[in-house]
Structure formats: C-alpha cells, structure tokens
Structure 1
Amino acid sequence: MTSSESLPALPPQPADRRRWFALAIVMTAAFMDLVDVTIVNIAIPSITRDTGASFTSIQWITAGYALAFAAGLITGGRLGDIHGRKRLFLIGIGGFTIASALCGFAANPEMLVASRILQGGMAALMVPQVLSIVHATFPAHERGKVFGLFGAIVGLGAVSGPLLGALLTEWNFFGLEWRPIFLINLPVGIAGLLLGRKFISESKAPKALRLDLTGVALVTLGLLMLLYPLTRGRDLGWPLWGHVSMVASLLVFAALVVFERRKADRDGSPLIELSLFRVKSFAAGTAVQLTFGVVMGIYFLVWTLYLQMGLGWSALRAGSTGIPFSVAVSCAAGISVQKLVSRFGRKVLQAGALLMIAGLLLYIWVAGRYGSAVTPWQMVLPLVVMGVGMGLIVAPLTDAVLSGVPKEHSGSASGLINTVQQMGTALGLGLVSVVFFGSIGDRLPPEAMGAAFVDAFQRSLWWVAGVLAVIFLVMFALPARPRVSPGQIPASDQAESSDQVPASDRAEGSDQAQDDGLPNEPALTS
C-alpha cells in the first residue's frame, strides 16, 4: 500500500491541522529540556565564581538533574498512559517552569542542587509524553518525517544549549551572571502551558491501567543504588559501601523483572511492559540508547571543561565553537530519516557510529598536535565529522525503537527509551570523575593546569571512542531494513481507532506484521 492509496481513504479530520501545532508545542518542550541539560555546562565557571560551589556541588548540579530524570521517566510515561498524556505533559511543563524559576533565584549551591533535582523530576513527567503524543497523534506513514524533525531538534538542543548559555552568561543581564540560563525557561514554559491546553489532544491507554507502586519503588531504588555511588565515588574515596550498593542494584533490577512479570500475569498493569522487549527493534534500540547516553554524558561535560577551564576560553568563545557540530547534527538528522534509512537501513546508524569515532580520533590528534594553542578553526573538521555521525544516529534510532510498539503502551515505551538514555547519561556523568578528573591531580599548580586538562580531554575521548565501538557492534541486532516502506501502515497501528485509520488499512498492517515475522499487538499486550 502506498501513501497515495492510503491517504484518500482517511476521513477528513478537523484536528489534522491542529496536530502540527501540537507537534510544535511538544517539540519546543523537548528542546527546552535538551537545552537545559547542556546550557548548565557552559555556565559552570560563572556558577563557581558567583556561588563558591565546590567541584562536588558542580557535579551534582549536572548529575542531580540526570538522576532525578532517569529515576522518574518510566513512572512518568506510565502515568501518562493511565491519566492522559496531555494532562501529564501540562503538569510536567508547569512544574519544570516553576523549578527553573527556583534555579534562577537560588541563594546558594545547596538550593541550586535541590532545584535542579526538582527540575529533573518534572522533566521526567513532561518528556515521556512528547514521544507518546507523537506516537498517538500521527499515523505511521507520517512518523518518519516527524522523527526526522525530532532528531534535528535533538541536535539543535544538544549544542545550541552551550551557545545560548554562553550568550546569556557573557551579556550578564541586569548583573544576574548565570541566572538567566534558567530564567529564560519561564516565558517558554508559560507559552507551552497555555498553547498545550488548546492544541494538544488528550490520549491514554484504551485499557484501564493502575499505577504499579511497587514497581516504581524498585525502579527508583535500583537506579539510585547504581548511580549515586558512581557519581559520588571519587569524591568519597570509593568506599566499600559504594561498590556493594552498585552490585546490589543488579539484584534489585532482577527482583523488578520477576515482580513485573508476575504483575502482568495477575492484573495486566505492570509499570514496565516486559513484553515490549519481544519486539527486536525495541530491545536492540534500548541497548543502543543506553550506551549512546554514556557517550553523551561523558563528551559534553568534558568538552566544556576542556575549553573553559583547560584552555581558558570565555563562555562565548567556547559556546560558539560548537556551532559547526550543531549544524552538522541537524542537517544529517533530517537527511537520514527522509532519504537514507529507507534505502540502507541500519547501515545508516552504523555509519554514524563510525563517523563519530573518526571525528573523535581527529579531535584527539588536533588536541595533541596544538595543545593549549589550539584555535576554534582547527576544531571545525572533527566537530563536523562527529556532528554528521550523531545526526545519522539520533533521528533513525528513535523511529526504529518505537516503530513496532502498540499504541496503548507508547507511554511506557517512551518512558523506557528516555530512561535508558538518561541512565546512560548519568552513568557517563559519573564516569567523568574517573576518566577525566581521575587523570588530573588535586593540587596542580596553575601553570600546569592547561596541559593537564588537554591530556585528560584526550584520555576521555579514547573512552568515548571505545563506547561508540560497542554501539557499532550492538547495532547489528537492529533490523537490517525498515520494517515498513514509506507510506505503509505498520502492525503497530492496528490498534488505532477507526476514525484515524480505516479498517482495511489496519488489516493490511496486520498482514505486514505477519509477513515480516513480527509479533502483532495481542502478543505484546499483557
């Protein structure tokens, strides 16, 4: 079935035009979250000067957000399935806006850390609804285009955050120093809240679900037992209890799997739909998301520290250096979904991993060749190569992971996707203390600081390249080709209501699933 054949069969919908407004709103919220993750890194020197924050506090300003985000994402996604994705999105964006105001007016490092943790918790309610709303609002033949846009937004958010943070910090509005990096969220959040109420359509799981409180407790406990010792380990001298906690977290996750399996059999309302992992694309994609999150967690923080604290660059110079990377990510993300994936399948993602590795190796050479005298122009080539590689991964990966997920579990799936990526990011941030600060002496004289940061930066990039090599290998588990050609409606859409997809299209989607040897929805529903 081609796009031209399926579209005339769709009844005219007054809401069709509104869904693009809804997309713009949720994409803006996703952009705000992504910017807020990276915008803080560029303002670290300013925060340190203004508040007297220690390295431990600085690490918690970044890692505390990631921890709260990762711990709450699965729960946030499931709450959207139960109570409505629009409702949870609005609660999340409202809470995120309030938390941003608290960050902007923080009187000391402790208040800033607490506000960042609250901000991460609110983001955990907001962000899973973004992909869920997209999955529930757009038919399958349009999702490739939408996820291409999403990949471009990811690329823009990842690097425009440092640039925006640099501008806001350098301009020092009203003598507020770093505070505008958080306060800028207020007008965006308020606009998103008001427009979201008007344009986003409500959706929830068609089957009545209940929140799995035991599952929530086990997920949160397991993540904290793993990530807290990793984040604080170096600062505390790697105590024995930290190692015990990290090992014990694996037992907690094992208990979670057993409990969720029994709960699914008992009442069909588990926090985590383990049946989702029967879909090969989802299982392999989440593994890639986890390891890719580690890459992002290490790279962006280390890169910022290297430019500002190692090379002594201003926030504006450091932020503008990332512009080639941002442009490359956005361009490659759009092209990958629209032009490349339909022809080359997972080879596009694997090419992206190899390009990122090549860019890292170039960056290692440039950093070693020019040392502290390196200029932004000498960084352009490695940044562009890395950016193209990242763009070839981020957009197709999201589409691949969600393509086989039935609509009633889209919130849970979205929460899982974001959780594993944020868990990877938190792991990466924790590893920064090992791979970066671990190679810098605690009492270096000022004249040795620059060379030490250059060396630590190179060491960290070798770690990142190694993780990307693992990602390249894991990608072999992804489907070799897209399951559905452009214009076709996949099996995941067979649960869509008749006012969205005609019965004939749903039947054809089911036939497609059988032809591809994929489980259809009944096999995925608890």
Structure 2
Amino acid sequence: MTSSSSTLASPRPEADRRRWFALAIVMTAAFMDLVDVTIVNIAIPSIQREAGASFGQIQWITAGYALAFAAGLITGGRLGDIHGRKRLFLIGIGGFTIASALCGFAANPDMLVAARILQGGMAALMVPQVLSIVHATFPAHERGKVFGLFGAVVGLGAVMGPLLGALLTEWNLFGLEWRPIFLINLPVGIAGLVLGRKFITESKAPHALKLDLVGVALVTLGLLMLLYPLIRGRELDWPTWGYVSMAGALVVFAALVAYEKRKTARDGSPLVELSLFKVKSFAAGIAVQTVFGVSLGIFFLVWTLYMQFGLGWRPLRAGLTGVPFSIAVSVAAGISVQKLVPRFGRKVLQAGALTMAAGVLLYIWESERYGLSIASWQMALPLVVMGVGMGLIVAPLTDAILSEVPREHSGSASGLINTVQQMGNALGLALVSVVFFGTMSDHLPAPEIGPAYVDAFQHALVWVAVVMTAIFLLMFALPKRPAQQVEGAEATEELVADFDHEPVAVV
C-alpha cells in the first residue's frame, strides 16, 4: 500500500473546537521565529557600532542561528512525535524566550553569538511542532485554508522583521540601541507559553518510538561539517580543511542513510523516515524547498546590505521599503491555496517561480538605471512582483509536500521540511561571501563604497534569478494535482455520508 493510500485510509481526527485558538498560538510562535530571523539584518549597523562586533561576528550572529536551527530541526520533529508535540512546543517556546532575553542583555558580541545559537536550538524544538500540530489537529478539508494562513504569516513575518527592527532601532528605547529587537520576544513568548498550555491539544505518534541517538549524532555532524566551512570560508580564505570537511559531510550523510535503513528494519523508529522519500510529492517538494531557501538566504541579506551600506539609508526607510513586498506575499499566499491551486495545480507554483524571477530581473534593471539615486517608490514594482511570486510558492509548496505524508510521521516530515529550508538558507548566507562580497575589495575608499555595493547587489540578484529558473524546472517533478485535494474531497464526501446516516442533535 502506498503512502498516499495509507493517508487516505487513516481515520480523520475529530474536529477540536479549540483548534482555531491553538492555530493562532502556534502561528504567533512561527511569526515570532520568522521575525527573529529577519529582524537582525536591519539592525546589523547598530550592532556593529554599539557592540563593536566584527564582520566575522556579525556573520555568526545571523548564520549561527541558522546553523543551530538546521542541525536540530529533524531531532525536534522526532521528539515531538515521541514525547508529544504540545510538550515540545511549550519547551521550545519557553527556551526561545529565555534565549531572547540572553540576546537582549548580551554583554559582548561573543555572548550574543552564543545566545543566538541557543535561540536557534530552541527554535528547532518549537518550529517543527507548528506544522505537525496543524497536520494532526485539522481535518483534511480544512488544511488548505490553514496552509493559506500559514503562507500569509510567512510573508508577513519575512518583512515585518526588518520593519520592526527598524522602528525599534530608530526609537532607541531607554537608550538600549538594538537590544529591544530581542527583548520584544519576551511578552509574546510568555503569552504563548501560558495560552499554549490551555488551548493546544496534545498529540504524538500512535506507536511507541525511541529517539535515535546515533541518527541525531550523524545528522548534526553532517550538517556542521557542511555548513561551518561555508559560513567561515571567506573569512579564513577558503582553507583546504574546509573542502575536506564538506566532502566528508557527504560520507556522513551516506552513513546516515545506511544506518537509518538498518534502524528501520530493526525496530521501526529511525530519526529520518526514509520511506517519506518514496512519496514523489514529498521528495520533489524537499528538493524545491532546499533551492528556494538558497535564493531567500541570498536575497534578504544582500538587500539589507545594499540599502543600508550601499545607498546609505536609515533602518526605518529600509524597513518601510519592504512593506509592498510583505503585502504582496500575504495576499498571493492566501489566494493561491484557496482559489488557484484547486483549479490549476502545479502550474501555480511554476508561475510563482517565473514571476519571482521576473521581479528580480526588473529590480536589476531599475538598480542599473537609477544607481545611487534610486527611490523607495521605484523599488515598489519589482518588490510587488517578487512578493506575488513568493506568495504563489510558499503556501502551496508546504501543502504539496505534506499532502501524502502519513499522519504518524507528520513531526518527522515537518522537521525535514524546515531543516532543508534552513540548510538552503544557510547555504545562501554562505554564498553571499561569493556572489556579493566576492565582487568587491575589502578595502574601499569612501567614495567607492556605494557604487561597489550597487554592483555587488546586481551581481547577487543575477544568481537569484538563475536559482528561481532552476526551481521552475524542478517543479516539473511535483504532482500536477496535490493529493491533499483528493483527500479533502473524500473527507467532504464522508462528512456528507455521516450527515445522511446519523441523527442530528439540535443544540
């Protein structure tokens, strides 16, 4: 029996009346994480100036979070399957709140880097539970609407982070400079912890599982061997050990696959559920998600550097410039799942990839034409086009990846989705050293800094356009119609049948 048929045959969960409150809570946590990823970028000049952070430390403040996040996500998803998604969500949001406080009160850049790594690790416990709680709590016919909301939250968080970061940095509350960008998480995290205990329903895998410690060690080691040299490569002038480490990561991942196969045959509780990759929609979607993460990792960082260091804009102006992008992503994400995907299927995602590539090319053209005199309103058109493209991808892609996943593996699948996205993001951050900083000298006289950043921005966007074209081609491997639609249709038919054959209680 295929995974798809297993999913269709599995009993539909009873609708939990508290599920919409639970959704609001986990979505708020997801929003907090998304904001925290992007809010730091806009505050980089302030951190560098007030904390005296070097460029290497600045890189670690952003990439260290992504590295810890990626390394722990699969483990976090599996722990949720074993010990309960609600329990792990609460532990994660509590730890994330504590780590945010440590970031806000960091005494020096090294302490800030360490706190950001801890924050990424706690996010790795919290974030996988979001999708798995949704998958386990909502019946199939409601998940399209829910994933549409999730896509809107992703789009809103992606640009609200820079906007909030700009406002908090500009206001310099209580003379704290950049620190409020982390301290703002404290009331949100505490509220999520209290309300989550009340409204989220516990769920876990139906079969008793054990944590695969060897799998955890191999996944963590492989990701560290791959990402650490990429993050530090340019700073260390690309040493030989870095290439050896990255090649060794492939050997570690091969050993992981072999071990997980044996683990599955022996006791059926592997860390990475390899059977998921036999599901075409999951395997193809994971590939698309990874490459998409690369493009986002490159774009959002170089965009911030371009506006603040290249054009010399203040944080608030840079943050406000991204508002059209945020609105476009949110609107397109909602429409794509509710209206477009049911009618056009995979073509919606492919149109999104081409639309986003077109927006990138338009941005390159405008940047070349207007140079250092470009205005915020002139950036609005390419940003709206890019935002529409991203919105057409982000929500339907998540839906497509999870549509045929058996419910008992939803935590593991969610962890894999987030892991590959963060791996892609970390790869994108690492590639910034090549496609952005690699095009300019380390020692530029003041008059040449602006033009150099503009040229580097255009060069980086060319690579983003290339990546989006590759994503368009990869999407041909996705199913033409997500199986979720079929499942939802059958669920509706079952609901009608139940209505016809069972008495109705009038309240």
After TM superposition, the structure 1 = structure 2 runs for residues 192-207 of structure 1, keeping only pairs within 5 Å, are 192-207=192-207
Shift of 1:502: 8.0
Determine the structure 2 residue equivalent to 1:321. Answer: 321
**Paired letter, 1:445:** P
Determine the structure 2 residue equivalent to 1:268. Answer: 268
SS of corresponding position for 2:59: helix
Determine the structure 2 residue equivalent to 1:474. Answer: 474
Shift of 1:487: 7.4
Q: Distance in 2 between matches of 1:75 and 1:250?
A: 19
Shift of 1:228: 0.3
Determine the structure 1 residue equivalent to 2:39. Answer: 39
Contact 2:149 2:334 (8 Å CA) reproduced: yes
Q: Distance in 1 between matches of 2:131 and 2:322?
A: 27
**Paired letter, 1:36:** D
Shift of 1:483: 2.3
Q: Distance in 2 between matches of 1:374 and 1:317?
A: 13
Determine the structure 2 residue equivalent to 1:137. Answer: 137
Shift of 1:481: 1.5
Q: Distance in 2 between matches of 1:330 and 1:411?
A: 25
Pick which of 266-275 and 15-24 moved more: 15-24
Contact 1:325 1:387 (8 Å CA) reproduced: yes
Q: Deviations over 1:317-344 (max 9, x none)?
A: 0000000000000000000000000010
Contact 1:100 1:182 (8 Å CA) reproduced: yes
Deviating above 4 A after TM superposition, structure 1's stretches of 4 or more consecutive aligned residues are: 501-505
**Paired letter, 2:68:** A
Q: Distance in 2 between matches of 1:162 and 1:57?
A: 20
Q: Which runs of 5+ in 1 are unaligned?
A: 1-8, 494-500, 506-526
Shift of 1:20: 0.2
Determine the structure 1 residue equivalent to 2:455. Answer: 455
Equivalenced residue count is 487
Q: Distance in 1 between matches of 2:145 and 2:185?
A: 27
Contact 2:57 2:113 (8 Å CA) reproduced: yes
**Paired letter, 1:46:** S
Determine the structure 2 residue equivalent to 1:177. Answer: 177
Contact 2:71 2:223 (8 Å CA) reproduced: yes
Contact 1:263 1:269 (8 Å CA) reproduced: yes
Q: Distance in 2 between matches of 1:293 and 1:490?
A: 33
After TM superposition, the structure 1 = structure 2 runs for residues 59-138 of structure 1, keeping only pairs within 5 Å, are 59-138=59-138
Determine the structure 2 residue equivalent to 1:400. Answer: 400
Determine the structure 2 residue equivalent to 1:510. Answer: none
TM-score norm. by structure 2 comes to 0.94
Contact 1:355 1:385 (8 Å CA) reproduced: yes
After TM superposition, the structure 1 = structure 2 runs for residues 200-219 of structure 1, keeping only pairs within 5 Å, are 200-219=200-219
Q: Distance in 2 between matches of 1:19 and 1:127?
A: 17
- What RMSD over aligned residues (CA atoms) do the two structures have, in Å? 1.7
Determine the structure 1 residue equivalent to 2:502. Answer: none
Q: Distance in 1 between matches of 2:12 and 2:300?
A: 45
Determine the structure 2 residue equivalent to 1:284. Answer: 284
TM-score norm. by structure 1 comes to 0.91
Q: Deviations over 1:298-330 (max 9, x none)?
A: 000000000001100000000000000000000
Q: Which runs of 5+ in 2 are unaligned?
A: 1-10, 499-507
SS of corresponding position for 2:205: coil
Note closer, same or farther for the CA distance 1:47–1:484 as it changes in structure 2 (3 Å cut).
Answer: closer
1:54 aligned to 2:54?
Answer: yes
Shift of 1:440: 1.6
**Paired letter, 2:61:** I
Identity %: 80
Q: Deviations over 1:432-480 (max 9, x none)?
A: 1111111121110011000000000000000111111111000000001
After TM superposition, the structure 1 = structure 2 runs for residues 119-518 of structure 1, keeping only pairs within 5 Å, are 119-485=119-485, 488=488
Shift of 1:488: 2.7
Determine the structure 1 residue equivalent to 2:4. Answer: none
**Paired letter, 2:277:** F
Contact 1:168 1:180 (8 Å CA) reproduced: yes
Q: Distance in 2 between matches of 1:18 and 1:237?
A: 54
Q: Deviations over 1:61-101 (max 9, x none)?
A: 00000000000000000000000000000000000000000
Q: Deviations over 1:9-49 (max 9, x none)?
A: 999x7x73211000000000000000000000000000000
Q: Distance in 2 between matches of 1:95 and 1:109?
A: 20
**Paired letter, 1:201:** T
Contact 1:140 1:490 (8 Å CA) reproduced: no
Note closer, same or farther for the CA distance 1:428–1:373 as it changes in structure 2 (3 Å cut).
Answer: same
Contact 1:10 1:502 (8 Å CA) reproduced: no
